Structure 1
Amino acid sequence: MTDSRPKSPQKIDNTTTVDTSMEEVANTSSTHDLSHSEIDVTSRDSQEKDPLKSSTPCSSDVSNISVPHLPLNNVTDYIDTALICHPSIKIELKNCANLLCSEEILTFYTDGSVQNIGTTHSLSGYGWIQTQPLTPRISFKGSTVFFPSSSKSESMGILTALLVAPFNCRINIYTDSANCITTFNTRMHLGIVSPHQKLKQSNFLLWDLIFLLINQKNLLVTLHKVPGHSNNLYNDEADTLAKAGAHIREPIIINHKFFAHQSLGFASWNRLHVIDRNVRKWADNVIQPLIFNSMINNKALTPIKKQILDGEIDWTFTKEWLNHNNSDALCSINLSKQQGNKIKKCNFIYPTIDIQQRNYPHLYPLGSIPCIQCSDAHDVNAHVGLCNDHSNDVVTILMEAAYDLYDIIIDNYSGTPFALRETIESSPLFNITFSGALSQTHPGYLLIHHLVPSDLTTIFYNYIKDKKLRFSIFIKFFKTLMRKVDSYIWVKRYSLIKSWERILSITKNKK
């Protein structure tokens, strides 16, 4: 680990200073690499430029605290006005600030903890310990609510540490959160953040306050990356504090009215809290459960209801595939047909003989019409892929897909992926040991109907960490795979049905 003391900063755009070592790391390392190296980010904003010039007020009403005239002249004033929490918590923070009021250099180890995330019983906590030699050894822990995430918990630890720091102080913060360091570095490079950029950032209200404190208290802040769970005594103590803090019943919330002197409006949820993140993505998460409920109650999707309930379908990747445009044209007849066919297949409403019989009762024979290929079952959407005549084709498709998947990950993975071949071979998706027809519970059944199995995307998540690259190579792989599925199964089947219809003198003109 390198020297924790701040190095000579380089000035950037007259507003920020960034430690040289961090700039080099940020330009050459991926996010994955950040978790294995120490990163220093140093900032001291000039008094002339406030990084929160474009910060915004909120329309919600969660506090009656009056808004002060900024900047403030007392550390405790920030604690009083910037936070919404129980008075006893403010007293505790003020006591910490008073103990540190004469210090010029401080060192904090911070950590965050999120428990039961994704449930209604989620807990979010944070904690820090001040370890600078010959200074008061103090610690703090707390909890927060709304939009829990590990990044938010880690950021709250950093924020509360800066709140108790005195003016004109040099601060070293050790954290195991590469995300916080990246966010800090990004904001430093951006200088004044536009409203558009800010409103897309998660926890932007929290980060606004962090940079306001740095600016108005004239702090020199250096963030150091410390490996998590590395038996670092101070980091382990911060981790213990964070886990304990998650169970504190009285949370700390950022008072959005603290920024009321700014000009842009926030969105709020139920007048309880500012939605300090990308509102479009947040709203999408709220809507998804409604869509999910409508899907499991859709009679057409009865054949895959169990897979839906068991989470065997990756809807994010399925959406990417359904929205994929295979041509350069933004809209065209061919594009409409392609996307229409995909949507019909995954919704089990593709015009199989039973649907044609329903739509054109005078053209098709009455009664149940068996599968054109095997004659063992009714010709319905659910039978496509389960037909005995499809078995050999399904095996061929899955075998070729396994080889293609291996090759495409090897080509896009830096280094040698650990146990990739074994991972693919052991995946339920590529299990071709079944005898006879494909089972309806086999993930390959979802593939045939243009749905993306979670067994497939798990491999992409494990080996391709970059989100943009992951979607890119997935589309490349899946496009080839679906071309084979359509050719071996759907097109072959369509050709046989057309021949059968011609025997019955059923033509397109008669429909």
Structure 2
Amino acid sequence: MGYGWHISNIQNQDFSYCGSIEHFPSATKAEIMAILTALIILPGGSDVTIFTDSQAAISNFQKSAHLQYVSPRRFNKINYMSLWSAIHHIIKKLSLNVKLIKVKAHSSSADNDKADVLAKMGHFKTPPTSITLHGIPNLNISLEWNNEIMIDKDIRKTVGKIIDYRWLDNHMNHNNLSDIYKFTQRNMINWSLTSKFFHHNSRDTYTDDKHSKDISWIIKSSTGTLPTLDFLNQNFPNLIKNDTKCMLCNSAEESNDHIWKCPTLLPHIRSTFRLLADQAQTFLQKYADKLNLCITDSIKYSNTFCWSFYNDAPITDNATLLLRSYVSEDLFRTFRTHFLTQGATIKAILKFMETARCLIKRNIWKVRSATWKDKKRRLQITKKSFKNYQRDPRMKTTRAPRRHNIGYICPQT
């Protein structure tokens, strides 16, 4: 990413500079680097007025003016703290009087447009501009990643994000989640929001049995380990006896993949998604910051819900992700357009996901469960049958070998 600046109040002279930055590039970091490189060339005791179209740079400049009084804990939460430390060190050393003024971006200002052109030119300049930290008094230590990239942002959040990506990578490499891996490659899953939903608790306490059941459903549905007949036959072969045909359509093996595509269950799934579309519209009308006539259309044409309004339309991948407790990018975009802040969007989506989980269990999974109860009754299988099966040493010899590529692996291990 490039940055650039020029001095506008010296006649008949063109004082300008541009360069590039790397590692954690952002528009704010580019503005900060432009301020730093502009200040370092000035003579001591100068009065400086900097015009910038970045309000974030102005706000952070004011907030970071008293870094020496900030506790180490809060100091390490400041983004680009090394650059701000260098800027205030330069100001102090050169006795500069600095004033920052906000100008409107893309307002046809000749000086601002020239700075934008310099920033675009700077994008191609090599090597990228970097600073050494040895001369900054209040920076005694810095954290580097792979002996190459200095972590110049909130350390806890940045390291946490690195660990999250590592956990996610381990999680996605599990064979049972190959379809989720493909959805991830296609950028269909909003993993940040999905993670929040996995840890979300809509109950009053964390020791509530209902909350444990909620988490159990989320884990099993998201990892493809719901107790369908193929899993039960694998773990209890003497009880199921290879009778794994779908109890609803009787045309294919009942598996976690089949259950969401079963032709007999599909009408229930379709009607549930129509209810979910109504619920999404209700949530947006209640919580949205932007109340307009587009709410109905945004739900109706969302890839998550649109298929449910046509009886012959196949279920979409985004709908399958919702059935499996994932927050899709399509669902996030549908909600995000109606809120001013991302925080408000997240709250609304979490409420909607809770409603979706309840409706999916009640209107879809319970249809299958009712059929399974009838089958257990015919086969005279009870809960004790499964418990005694585990305790009976004779059953252990007849149990099918465990397939290690099926089941849930905690991404933290």
Counterpart amino acid of residue 272 in structure 1: E
CA RMSD of aligned residues (A): 2.6
Match of 1:353 among 209, 213, 229: 229
Which residue of structure 1 lines up, in the alignment, with residue 399 of structure 2?
Answer: none
Inter-partner Cα distance in structure 2 for 1:353 and 1:133: 81
2:197: which partner in 1?
A: 321
Contact (CA 8 Å) 1:388, 1:437: kept in 2 or not? no
Q: Which of 307, 319, 338 pairs up with 1:444?
A: 319
Deviation per CA, 1:111-135: give whole Å up to 9, x if none.
Answer: xxxxxxxxxxxxx211011112659
Task: Give the letter for the 2:374 counterpart.
Answer: S
Counterpart amino acid of residue 353 in structure 1: L
Shift of 1:387: 1.8
Aligned residue number for residue 144 of structure 1: 21
More helix by share: 2
Instruction: Measure, in 1, the Cα distance between the counterparts of 2:361 and 2:263.
Output: 17
Return the alpha-carbon distance in structure 2 between the equivalents of residues 230 and 194 of structure 1.
40
Deviation at 1:269, TM superposition (A): 1.8
Return the offset for 1:329: 2.2
Contact 1:201–1:277, Cα closer than 8 Å, also in 2: yes
One-letter code aligned to 1:328: D
TM-score for the superposition, normalised by structure 1:
0.69
Structure 1 regions of 5+ residues with no counterpart?
1-123
Residue 409 in structure 1 maps to residue 287 in structure 2: no
One of 294, 297, 310 as aligned partner of 2:186: 310
**Separation of aligned partners in 1, 2:173 and 2:327:** 20
Instruction: Give the Å deviation of 1:165.
Output: 2.9
2:36 corresponding residue in structure 1: 159
Q: Does 1:461 align with 2:336?
A: yes
CA contact (8 A) 1:155 1:180 kept: yes
Name the SS for the 2:135 alignment partner.
helix
Question: Secondary structure of 2:319's match?
Answer: helix
Counterpart residue type for residue 264 of structure 2: D
What corresponds to 2:394 in structure 1?
none
Match in the other structure for 1:370: 245
Structure-1 separation of matches of 2:373 and 2:54: 60
CA apart distance, 1:444: 0.9
For residues 135 and 475 of structure 1, do their structure 2 counterparts lie closer, same or farther at Cα, with a shift above 3 Å needed? farther
Aligned residue number for residue 305 of structure 2: 430
| Structure 2 counterpart of 1:228, one-letter code | A
Tell me whether 1:344 sits opposite 2:220 in the alignment.
yes
Distance of 2:65 and 2:285 partners within structure 1: 36
Residue 97 of structure 1 is matched in structure 2 by none
Matches within 5 A, 1:184-203: 184-188=61-65, 192-203=69-80
Cα contact 2:291–2:338 (8 A) shared by 1: no
Identity %: 28
Deviation digits for residues 412-457 of structure 1 (CA, Å, limit 9, x no counterpart) = 4445458443333222112124445843x43111111111111001
Change (3 A) 1:133 1:454: same
Which AA in structure 2 matches 1:177? S
Q: Which SS does the other structure have where 1:388 is aligned?
A: coil
Q: Following TM superposition, by how much is the alpha carbon of 1:292 offset from its aligned partner in structure 2, in angstroms? A: 4.8
Aligned length: 385
Q: In 2, are the aligned partners of 1:130 and 1:138 still within 8 Å (CA)?
A: yes
Give the 3 Å change call, closer, same or farther, for CA 135–193 of structure 1 in structure 2: farther
Aligned mates of 1:463, 1:166 — CA distance in 2: 50
Deviates more, 1:345-354 or 1:418-427: 418-427
1:223 aligns with 2:123: no
Residues 289 and 338 in structure 2, CA contact (< 8 A), matched pair in contact too:
no
Structure 2 CA distance for partners of 1:413 and 1:332, relative to 1, 3 Å = closer
- Taking structure 2 as the reference length, the TM-score comes to 0.84
Residue deviations 1:9-64 (CA, integer Å, cap 9, x gap) = xxxxxxxxxxxxxxxxxxxxxxxxxxxxxxxxxxxxxxxxxxxxxxxxxxxxxxxx
1:115-134 equivalent positions in 2, closer than 5 A:
124-132=1-9
The 2-side partners of 1:182 and 1:463 are apart by 27
Q: Give the distance between the partners of 2:367 and 2:208, measured in 1 at CA.
A: 25
1:173 equivalenced with 2:50 (yes/no): yes
Q: CA deviation at 1:256?
A: 1.4
Instruction: Answer whether contact 1:428 1:455 (CA < 8 A) is retained.
Output: yes
Q: Give 1:347 shift.
A: 0.6
